[in-house]
Chains A and B, each alone.
Chain A
């Protein structure tokens, strides 16, 4: 390191200044990746540092060159969604809590040697231990644990994380509505410990977990339900539309053949006028305000019903068209059932996107998007659009990292930096703590995990 950086720490007088430059450059790289609006210049000025932005830039380049620009490390966060698939069966987890556990663990040097996957999975384990003590046996099932990594290492890491949670007093929240659901099984477990009861218990628990999952992912389960309805609706609709489309094609053909008479055109016009009016009304009502939206919606309903009528008449229309092709005068038919003609017209308007329609659509979009922009600008956090992942949607993005950082902030004296000496003491303390903790919960030992 010294070789590479020698020429770039020229502005620095002593080692402290050099290290400071390197440290600040590391910080500025990482902070810029996180937040776009960080001002290095401001930071340097605020802290009265004798460092220029040019020095920072050069040092940043050197650091990046040395680490080959790999500034997107794999972290435990990367694996949260993966492990969540297993843990969500047992209940809800607040993403913010899991994040907090991981971040606090990053500040603890004893976790340095664990791979990120292990930190991620044990963070879930620790959270479940605190939030769902009664289910912990099921969650930390030996088979499940074996899949998380080398058993001894997993258990050790889980233990450490749990202790960290307790030491740092990390509050493990459970998504709200779940709390009453969890209290019930707890009491049951207390009274019945036999395996026979455990089977139905498991089932109900699963059901509950499923119900809870709705609260948590809010999308998945709900979607399943609505998907069915939607599919039903869609099948209904597609059959409608397909009929209508077939119909229109026939109409088009007959038009091409020149059978379409002026009368039809005339009626087209009148109907088009009606349509225009409808559009005008809807648009006007929209502009007028919310009170009028209802009227518009009602109108929508009426048009909706008229649409539904279309397919019913579609067959009749087809017959009509056949006769059209044959060159039979259209007057008669129109006279016979004017309503049918109307239906026909409607069908045409609904399916065919004429140039007029295009203009209409564009007008609506243009007008709305200018309004819409303002709305989006004000409230950019609304949850919509492409779901990034189930778990990410749980909490409003802003709050995901809202917690107090409890890393040791004071700079230790050089003598205290002898980590080897300091380590065993910490371990002993943890040992004692764990013994008291484990007295209450023997389940863990029962399931083959020797935590003690």
Chain B
């Protein structure tokens, strides 16, 4: 069950070591996502022996003239406002002392991401664990959405799991690097972040005024992926994914998505519209209630898509 591809000791500058060695030890690189997202490593807090995960955010040279960059302010302040059992907790924030170059985020440590689980030869038994998984993931999401925060980057890598006696003991949503807090004035939102496979159709169509429904879509894709054991929509760019979506769920029409044609006139070119496929045939293993919930999470029209709170009340998830 060890996710760690032993990447060894993280490569850090002397300044960086100076910040963390006084309080932490036993460093081990666990994820390397390139300089932009920062390396992740696990280490031990010297005082309590607690294992924590640490992420380094480096302030780019060209942004230093602006003080702390917006991205870091946004990222850390969102993490700090969140306090929920299904959201990875940020313990502390450290920084290099002399000349601020790096910010260190110290998180609680959870061993494995859903992605690794799906890749193991013995993946999660969805029939048994699908409900507790969705229940926990959606309650984390419902909490986020009540706080008026959109995650915008949900994918199997960003859902951490730990198991006990073949039950999910902990589920944590993580990586709020591109999360967005909804507050007036509502400027157009960026549509460029996140993995296209889990992007909602409104994002792929280029709408900049989307909302929390984009996270529900991603969660629906993830749930479907747990059943299929491969991403529901596969492709490396937006148009390809959009094609896959429309071929599975049908093309949007004015009836099922009011207003779509006025924004994306090309929708009219799908004439006659492509009809949705039968999801029951696509997911034969899933019980009818589960299918219903999945279809509501994968509703093309964001305004009709089920919300996290509603989903938790759905018959499939009711205990």
Binding site for B on A (CB under 8 A): 25, 28-29, 32-33, 36, 38-41, 53-54, 56-58, 60-61, 64-65, 68-72, 77-78, 95, 99, 219, 223, 226, 230, 233-234, 237, 241, 244-245, 282-283, 286, 293, 296-297, 299-300, 303-304, 307, 350-351, 353, 357-358, 361-362, 364-369, 371-373, 376, 380-388, 392, 397-398, 400-401
Contacts and interface: CB of A to CB of B under 8 A. Distances in A.
Interface stretch (B13-21, B45-53, B70-78, B114-122): B70-78
B206 A353 contact: no
B184 A401 contact: yes
B66 interface: yes
A386 B210 contact: yes
Nearest to A95: B184
B268 A297 contact: yes
B264 interface: yes
* 6 A-B pairs with the lowest CB-CB distances in the bound complex, closest first: A386-B211, A368-B266, A380-B188, A385-B207, A397-B186, A362-B243
Contacts of B181: 72
Given A382-B209, A398-B185, A68 B80 contact: yes
B284 to A, nearest CB: 15
Contact of B255 (A61, A69, A234, A388): A234
B270 to A, nearest CB: 7
Contacts of B213: 386
B80 to A, nearest CB: 4
Interface stretch (B92-100, B164-172, B218-226): B92-100
Contacts of B187: 397
Contact of A53 (B66, B81, B185): B66
Interface stretch (B36-44, B124-132, B135-143, B272-280): B272-280
Interface residues of B, number: 67
Contacts of B66: 32, 38-41, 53
13 contacts: A72-B77, A72-B80, A296-B271, A358-B243, A361-B274, A366-B239, A376-B207, A382-B263, A384-B202, A385-B207, A397-B187, A400-B186, A401-B184
Nearest to B278: A245
Interface string B248-277: 000100011011001111101111101101
A420 to B, nearest CB: 35
A283 B211 CA distance: 32
B290 interface: no
Contact of A29 (B64, B65, B68, B238): B68
Given A361-B247, A386-B211, A57 B67 contact: yes
B43 to A, nearest CB: 21
Contacts of B240: 362
Contacts of B242: 365, 369
Contact of B275 (A72, A219, A234, A241): A241
B264 A372 contact: yes
A297 to B, nearest CB: 7
A164 to B, nearest CB: 21
Contacts of A77: 183-184
B275 A350 contact: yes
A195 B212 CA distance: 46
B246 interface: yes
A430 B65 CA distance: 48
B76 to A, nearest CB: 5
A397 B209 CA distance: 10
B239 A384 contact: no
Given A28-B67, A32-B68, A40-B65, A58 B100 contact: yes
A29 B76 CA distance: 13
A300 B268 contact: yes
B178 interface: no
A129 B125 CA distance: 59
A53 B238 CA distance: 39
A61 B208 CA distance: 32
Given A60-B67, A234-B256, A296-B271, 19 more contacts: A38-B66, A57-B68, A60-B68, A61-B95, A64-B93, A65-B93, A71-B73, A72-B80, A230-B256, A245-B278, A282-B269, A350-B272, A376-B206, A384-B262, A386-B207, A387-B302, A388-B186, A392-B186, A397-B185
A372 B266 contact: yes
A233 B255 contact: yes
Contacts of A237: 255
Given A54-B99, A362-B239, A392-B186, A61 B270 contact: no
A388 B211 contact: yes
B190 to A, nearest CB: 9
A256 B184 CA distance: 58
